[in-house]
Structure 1
Amino acid sequence: MIRRATDSDVDAVERHYTELLSFEQEHGSSTNWELGVYPTRAVAEKGVKDGTLYVLEENGEVCASMILNHVQLDAYASIPWEYAAEPDKVLVIHTLCVPPSQAGKGAGKRMVLFALEEAARRGCEVMRLDTWENNRPAANLYLKLGFRYAGKAEVLFEGSISENLIFLEKRI
């Protein structure tokens, strides 16, 4: 079941962030996120407060999380989007996190499919997202689910992480 997160989910989401980023420190990064910089417990807490953090729960255990909102980074303005839409008609996926202990079980796909359904329920016209250019697992998942590549931009994420992001979109 995918649902809005509550305060009681924050510990599990934080553990997932730490598990993923610790794994990436050892084995190489797919996300380009940094432990202690992004994502952090504060990101999960804000998501709960804002009602934008969603979790996948199975058998009473949180298995994955993501943030869904209408926030588009400044870099989104430089992307030649094919599908124009007013900002409140664009739902954006942020911080989709599937920890290594849950990888390969379809959690990422389920989360993205839920996000698309949620966008339709909200009357959105477009789903957009960005990911680090070297995050092949994420990019491949989005492309398999019908997203199209819209562009690339260099950003300074969280004021300290220099990265090239790719941007993808899908008409709802």
Structure 2
Amino acid sequence: MMIRKGNKADLPAIMKMVGDTVQIMKEEQNDQWDEKYPTMSIIEHDVQNGSLYVYEENEQVVGSITVDTNLPNEYLDIPWSQEIPSYTFHRLVISAAVREKGIASSLISHAEKVAMQHNTPYMKIDTYSLNKKAQALFEKNGYVKAGEMTFHGKENPFNCYEKILSDKVNN
């Protein structure tokens, strides 16, 4: 097991995971991702920015996550508990063949380490309200719901979560 920066050679494996995940989401009546999002160009941009990380197992990419400080404008209206800089993660995807083995939690933990390495002990994230699996994953990893927002023209709201990564942050 290894988490490393993603590169262009990882794109086919990532896009295969995205396609499989879109299909699973459709089966679960969850339209958070579809054929329009996330696209290859978005993932390529993550690689170019150096914000994409992959989880490799037996020399195969079986998960990826993008970690950065790019927060949606919609976050401005959320009643966050802190008014300090934060990191976020996007486009967390795991191969359908290895789901429920802790890989998603490992990638989230890695995202938190990236934030801490940049002296930013605060994470903000969101997921579609229909994505019950992601909500459970976030809560299992210590994230607390801070509010809801509308996003990307979706019919249902997105739930916003936060996590304070250090007790040195004022509550």
Q: TM-score with structure 2 length normalisation?
A: 0.90
- In 2: Cα distance, 1:121 partner to 1:49 partner: 20
Q: Does 1:164 align with 2:157?
A: yes
Note the residue ranges of structure 1 that are not aligned, 5 or more in a row. Answer: none
Counterparts of 1:24 and 1:161, CA distance in 2: 15
CA drift at 1:80? 0.4
Aligned twin of 1:85: 84
Gaps of at least 5 residues in structure 2 are 166-171
Residue 31 of structure 1: how far off its partner (Å): 5.8
Q: Percent identity?
A: 26
Which 4+ stretches in 1 moved above 6 angstroms?
none
Q: Give the structure 1 partner of residue 17 of structure 2.
A: 16
Secondary structure of 1:55's match? strand
- Rounded to whole Å, the distance in 2 between the matches of 1:150 and 1:128 is 9
Distance 2:105 2:150 in 1: 27
Q: Is the 2:130–2:156 Cα contact (8 Å) retained in structure 1?
A: no
Question: How do 1:96-115 residues align onto structure 2 when only pairs under 5 Å count?
Answer: 96-115=92-111
Matched with 1:72 is 71
What is residue 137 of structure 1 aligned with on the other side?
133
Partner of 1:151: 147
Name the structure with the higher strand share.
Answer: 1
Deviations 1:22-78 (A, max 9, x none): 2333x224461112x001111111111111111100110001111111011111000
CA RMSD of the aligned region, Å?
1.4
The total of aligned residue pairs comes to: 164
* Letter aligned with residue 169 of structure 1: E
Query: In structure 2, do the counterparts of structure 1 residues 148 and 85 end up closer, same or farther at CA, with 3 Å as the change threshold?
Result: same
Measured in 1, the distance between the counterparts of 2:48 and 2:156 equals: 28
